[in-house]
Amino acid sequence: MESVLLRGGKIWDGSGKPAFVADVFVTGNRIAQVQPPGTRGRQAALSLDIPGHTIIPGLVDGHAHLPFLHKANIADTGDVPPEEHTLRTMQHARVVLEAGFTSCLSGGSAKPRIDVVVRNEINAGHLPGPRMLAAGPELTNTGNLGDERRMHIHRESIAMIVDGVDEMSRTCRLLIREGVDTLKLNISGNQTIPNSRSDQNVMTEDEIRTAAVTAHAHGKRIAAHVRAAASIKLALKHGIDILYHCEYADEECLDLLEAARDRIFVAPAIGLLHNLMYEAEAWGITYDGARATGVVHQFECAQRVFAELRKRGVRVLVGGDYGFPWTPHGTNARDLEHFVRFFGYSDAQALVAATRTGAAAMMLEGQAGEIAEGFLADLVVVAGEPQDDVRLLQTADNIKLVMKDGRIHKNLFDTVH
Ligand SMILES: [Zn+2]
């Protein structure tokens, strides 16, 4: 497509100002013009009249796992051979893009090269999918989240198990050699691991420091699963860039997170907790079961912490660990409603988190995440006004057009023009 003109719709540009009516003209992979309606006539290869619709920047999932296979048990994901696993990940990339997510910041790849090769194929134009910051598997310790082995049996999972600084530096370097953009550490335990609990710090300070120094020496990002207060403090001390979960942050953590707010991004992954409580019964997880394993308490803690981080101006990303059976790929936009209902965001603020803030986390600040001249043409045309009601983004039929890098990947408009 050489040029596209979107006429007569509203623009919600991501800058924080109210939506306004304008025409948007795209050439190549850039937004070339945002002009008053009717300025250009129909001088474009494709011209669409879109009154009643709103153009928003492409959505960004800040905690994506495109290789997650909708399996309740992560060891079952580990069992899938790399070839099938890669093909399924390609399908998920398309589903998520068509849901309006033009970028995904990976929170873990499940196998060392899946994110990397899918990212490369998308960037080469061979596959439809979002822009990706590719991760390796989560780096964990023996007995922590992602170690599915037993004394008598070896099982893979979604992680690589590293103990000690030598293994950590070797594994980080290996993943960087293979092409990851970001490393992911499991610093805290998890509610699913009896002897490495969510509120316990498991990874040693030396291991965390080694991983962070190695990532940054190569100009890579580093993210971490941090639930416990002690883990949040260590992550901040050693320069972790993206902190996931953070629900057991104490007052000192909140002050430290605020002090680091121009450097870090934080993501609650609230979609996973929400759906474990309310939508996982088909997989044997009831609300009472979720309460017994601490998920309900975690959710309540997350509400307190993320309402506070919002007030303190910390940059928070949407992205709710989609890819479990109870959080299927393509439903990622549900996170925005959670931000409104549970953290006190306005609809427009939730949309900023999912667009401009997400683009900054993708290292595309000033290049994507806004509808403005010169920006990358990552945009979504939505029926209605999602800046006033983010729930509109949850319905596939409302996502009328998805453009990434100037290329249309979904178009429900009649295109006989
Ligand atoms: Zn995750």
Tokens standing for residue 44: 């474009």
pLDDT value, residue 2: 79
pLDDT tens string 370-390: 999 999 999 999 999 999 999
| Domain total in the chain | 2
Q: Which DSSP state fits 355?
A: I
CA of 272 to the centre of ligand 1 (A): 9
Q: Give which of 396, 395, 405 is closest to 375, Cα–Cα.
A: 405
Identity (one letter) of the amino acid at 160? M
**pLDDT on residue 1:** 57
CATH, residue 240? 3.20.20.140
* 240 part of a folded domain: yes
Q: Residue 65 C-alpha to ligand 1 middle, in angstroms?
A: 7
Q: Is residue 293 part of a domain?
A: yes
Beta carbons within 8 Å of 5's beta carbon, 6+ residues apart: 23, 24, 25, 26, 40, 42, 43, 44, 46, 47, 48
CA 123 to chain centre: 18
Query: Which tokens hold the place of 166?
Result: 């030598």
Question: 339 lies in a domain?
Answer: no
Task: Answer yes or no: do 245 and 98 share one domain.
Answer: yes
If you measure from the C-alpha of residue 43 to the centroid of ligand 1, how many angstroms do you get, rounded to a whole number?
45
All residues at 6 or more sequence positions from 256 whose CB lies less than 8 Å from its CB, including other chains: 232, 233, 236
CATH code assigned at 387: 2.30.40.10
DSSP state of 100: T
C-alpha 27 chain-centroid distance: 28
Quote the percentage of the chain above a pLDDT of 90. 95
392 confidence band (pLDDT: 50, 70, 90): very high
Location of structure tokens 């170690």: 147
Confidence (pLDDT) at 277:
98
Give the tens place of pLDDT for each residue, 66-85: 999 999 999 999 999 999 99
CA distance 384 to 404: 21
Q: Is the residue at 417 inside a domain? A: no
Question: If you measure from the C-alpha of residue 344 to the centroid of ligand 1, how many angstroms do you get, rounded to a whole number?
Answer: 23
Q: What is the pLDDT of residue 416?
A: 53
The predicted structure's pLDDT at residue 308: 98
Residue ranges in 183-281 assigned as alpha helix (H): 205-217, 229-237, 251-259, 270-278
Residues 28-44, mean pLDDT to the nearest whole number: 88
* Pair 184, 42 in one domain: no
Distance (Å) from CA 38 to ligand 1 centroid? 45
Q: What's the rounded mean pLDDT across residues 160-186? A: 98
Find all residues with CB under 8 Å of 205, minimum gap 6, and list them: 234, 237, 238
For residue 338, the SS3 value is helix
Work out the percent of the chain whose per-residue pLDDT is above 70: 99
CA of 323 to the centre of ligand 1 (A): 9
Distance 387 CA to ligand 1 centre (A): 27
The per-residue pLDDT for range 231-261, each reduced to its tens digit, is 999 999 999 999 999 999 999 999 999 999 9
- Summarize the confidence of residues 54-59 as an average pLDDT: 98
* In a shared domain, residues 117 and 266: yes
What is residue 310's predicted lDDT score, i.e. its pLDDT? Answer: 98
Using the mean position of ligand 1's atoms as its centre, give its distance from the Cα of residue 107 in Å: 5
- 130-139 pLDDT, tens digit per residue, is 999 999 999 9
Q: From CA 165, how far away is CA 153, in angstroms rounded?
A: 26
Secondary structure of residue 284 in the 3-state scheme = coil
pLDDT level of residue 281 (50, 70, 90 thresholds): very high
How confident is residue 42, by pLDDT bands cut at 50, 70 and 90?
Answer: low
Q: Point out which residues pair with 417 in neighbouring strands.
A: none
DSSP 8-class letter at 18: P
Q: Are residues 87 and 52 in the same domain?
A: no
Mean pLDDT, rounded, for 249-274: 98
Q: State how beta strands 3-11 and 53-57 pair.
A: parallel
For the chain, state the CA radius of gyration.
Answer: 21
Does some domain include residue 49? yes
CA of 145 to the centre of ligand 1 (A): 11
CA of 320 to the centre of ligand 1 (A): 8
Structure tokens at 110: 């499940």
Q: Is residue 129 a part of any domain in this protein?
A: yes
Would you state the pLDDT for residue 38?
A: 85
Mean pLDDT, the chain, whole residue set: 96
Q: How far is the CA of 63 from the centre of ligand 1 (A)?
A: 6
Print the domain residue range for 10: 3-57+368-411
The pLDDT tens digits for 311-351 are 999 999 999 999 999 999 999 999 999 999 999 999 999 99
Query: How far apart are the CA of 67 and the centre of ligand 1, in A?
Result: 11
DSSP state of 68: -
Other C-beta atoms lying within 10 Å of the C-beta of residue 255: 12
Task: Specify the pLDDT at position 46.
Answer: 94
pLDDT (average), residues 400-410: 98
Query: Ligand 1 centroid vs 108 CA: distance in angstroms?
Result: 7
CA 211 – CA 217 distance, rounded (Å): 10
> Do both 47 and 87 map to the same domain?
no
